[in-house]
Structure 1
Amino acid sequence: MQNKHLIPLPSLCNHYKIEMSFFNGLKDYGLIEVVSVEKTNCIHQDKIADIEKMIRLHQELHLNYEGIDTVFNLLEKIDYLKAELTSAQNKLQRYTND
């Protein structure tokens, strides 16, 4: 992983006005992967959208780490089921067009 694609957690704390303990909790619960670069914890920039969702779930819905994990698991299942449905619809369309 290249360092230019990593974002320091202290910068995220300042930007989102949230305590470092929140990110430590997410890391401890296994919800985010933290990379240490020169003694600074960082996350990959591709995970920012997930981090923003987690922050909103925590702040707006007052969900704890277990609740955030549950929501993300359900969203993952929904994405899987959508892909399965699309695949089934494509297969069905192939048979009905013949």
Structure 2
Amino acid sequence: MQNELIIVSEYCNKCHIEPTFIDRLQEGGLIDIQTENGERFLLFSQLPDVERYSRMYYDLSINMEGIDAIHHLLERMEEMQKEIHSLRSRLKVFGDF
């Protein structure tokens, strides 16, 4: 199911978002669009990201630059959390932490 493709135009119609919003996400490098036989597709695995970006844009009125900044900050936080987890695991060798 993770490799399923979703037609961009159908997704936009059902979710009431503009296809240009999807284009802007792709142009910003936030999502990847696949094209087959002239039809554009989103990967099913990208839907949570598209929905998050859509809520930021439409519900919170965050512009694309803000969405991009938030995306990079969230990625950095995730990297830092992994590093903290790794360091805590290493510290357990020396005692209970």
TM normalised by structure 1 equals 0.89
Task: State the Cα distance separating 1:60 from its structure 2 match.
Answer: 1.6
1:18 maps to what in 2?
Answer: 17
* RMSD, aligned CA: 1.2
Matched pairs, number = 94
Give the 4+ runs in structure 1 shifted more than 6 A. none
Contiguous gaps of at least 5 residues in structure 2:
none
Which amino acid in 2 is paired with 1:52?
A: E
Written as runs of structure 1 = structure 2, the 5 A alignment for 1:1-98 is 5-96=4-95
Contiguous gaps of at least 5 residues in structure 1:
none
Task: State the Cα distance separating 1:93 from its structure 2 match.
Answer: 0.8
Partners of 2:25 and 2:78 lie apart in 1 by 22
Task: State the Cα distance separating 1:7 from its structure 2 match.
Answer: 0.8
Determine what percentage of the aligned residue pairs are the same residue: 28
1:48-89 per-residue CA deviation (whole Å, 9 max, x = no partner) reads: 000000000101221111111111111111111111111111
Which amino acid in 1 is paired with 2:39?
A: T
Partners of 2:37 and 2:64 lie apart in 1 by 27
Partners of 1:24 and 1:77 lie apart in 2 by 24
